[in-house]
Amino acid sequence: MHFAVYAQAHGAKLLTDLACHVQGFVEHWISDRQARSPDKPVRPALAKEIRNPIDQMLRLALPGYVGRRRSRKAHPFVDQAPGFFGYLREERGLRLRSVHIYEYCLHNLQTYLQSINVTHLSELSPAILSAFVTSRGQQWSKCAVTQLCSALRVFLRYLHRERLTGRDLSSSIDAPKRYCLAELPRSISWKEVQRMLEVVDRRTPLGKRDYAILLLLVTYGLRSREIAALALDDLDWERERLRVPERKAGHSTAYPLSPLVGDAILNYLKHGRPKTTERHLFCRVIAPYGPYDASAVSHRATYYLRKAGVKVARAGSHTLRHTCVQRLVDAHFSLKTIGDYVGHGSPDSTMIYSKINVEALREVAQGNGEEVL
């Protein structure tokens, strides 16, 4: 509203006149803030905070308006290995999310090489690569370093195949040891799940959408990406079925539609979902009404877990997925059945849940194993 008043006062009569007044309004707002509080320094991020909502509004109102949208970085090493990311997508068939992981890892390598004045990939050596992995190992988790090492091996094999390096350096990358079944799944109790669901304000469109998402997470153990991909066509109301396409294991799954989940989705569709031609099931509640993405699904799960005061390491959508599996283990389903239910590609992925009953395992360790078994 302040921008509208400013633009009109400075001669704007049409929508197309607004774009040329954005920078002037930002400077006017900052100078006005300085005049009102001369002793208080202006935050560096203030200009960005003022500009962002105006840019978002003008992108909707003015076809072709871009504003100061955050520019995407070029692919790392695009000048020396221009075909690598095409190789990942076309030859290896990686999903976009996996390609982004490679981008992140190689951007880190590129920054490290620049810091030690290594300008060409032909200068790479086992010592340089070992020093790079060691430096990241001091800041990243074991899981992240393992992903880094995997991405580096693929990249180095590609460089050798394309004769961009004299020898294959992939064998010089040593990933940290990660022991099978060394960690516990980060699940929560069912009482904590109920407490989380109770803090959702289901009177609002936002609450109706989020409540349906949380029920899908904890009832079917879906991944955030799978929920974001759900479409209106995946709901079979006549047969009371929910279809989950494109699972991580490369197949689709059809679930019986739980009455509780079905009611929550129906309530969202009738009273919470915006009027849009978008076919994705879950959409943003404010314009533009685009589809809800995977990271947003995980962030909403994190928000409600924290709002409910549930303490768990790395709270997110996977916390509720683990909780779903825990309930199936407690109900004495076989690990094969559980793996099929939640869409595990390998039985090894389900094995970690075999030790989820920590109290029983503690009794075994204390010498009461025969009674427990």
pLDDT in tens, 294-326: 889 999 999 999 999 998 888 888 888 888 888
Query: What Å distances lie between residue 222 and 24, 55, 176, 230, CA to CA?
Result: 48, 35, 29, 11
What is the set of domains in the chain, with CATH numbers? 2-61 (no CATH), 84-172 (1.10.150.130), 190-362 (1.10.443.10)
Q: Residue 349's pLDDT is what?
A: 66
Which residue from 113, 123, 5 is spatially nearest to 54, judged by alpha carbons?
Answer: 5
**Residues of the chain falling short of pLDDT 70:** 69-72, 178-185, 246, 248-251, 345-365, 367-373
Which residue from 145, 148, 154 is spatially nearest to 85, judged by alpha carbons?
Answer: 154
Spatial neighbors of 213 by CB under 8 A, at least 6 apart, are 227, 282, 297, 300, 301
CA atoms within 13 A on the CB side of 310: 29
3-state secondary structure of 138: coil
Q: Residue 372's pLDDT is what?
A: 47
d(C-alpha 199, C-alpha 308), whole Å: 6
d(C-alpha 310, C-alpha 198), whole Å: 12
Which residue from 357, 205, 356 is spatially nearest to 286, judged by alpha carbons?
Answer: 205
Q: What is the CA radius of gyration of the chain?
A: 26
Q: Give the DSSP letter of residue 345.
A: S
CB atoms within 10 A of CB 322: 21
Tokens at residue 308, please?
């409910």
Q: Residue 69's pLDDT is what?
A: 63
The secondary structure element, H or E, covering residue 268 is helix 259-271
Tokens at residue 273, please?
């979902």
- Model pLDDT for residues 139-151, shown as the tens digit of each residue: 888 888 999 999 9
Query: What Å distances lie between residue 196 and 309, 325, 361, CA to CA?
Result: 8, 18, 28
List b or e across 265-278, with b for residues whose CB sees 16 or more CB atoms inside 10 angstroms.
bebbeeebbeeeeb
CA atoms within 13 A on the CB side of 373: 6
Tokens at residue 127, please?
């010592």
d(C-alpha 316, C-alpha 176), whole Å: 25
d(C-alpha 66, C-alpha 75), whole Å: 22
Q: Give the DSSP letter of residue 233.
A: G
- Model pLDDT for residues 61-109, shown as the tens digit of each residue: 888 887 776 656 788 998 999 999 999 999 998 888 889 999 999 999 9
Which residue from 43, 349, 65, 323 is spatially nearest to 186, judged by alpha carbons?
Answer: 323
Backbone angles phi, psi at 150, to 5 degrees: -65, -45
Q: Give the DSSP letter of residue 283.
A: B
Q: What amino acid positions are annotated as catalytic residues?
A: 223, 248, 318, 321, 344, 353
Tokens at residue 361, please?
């395992």
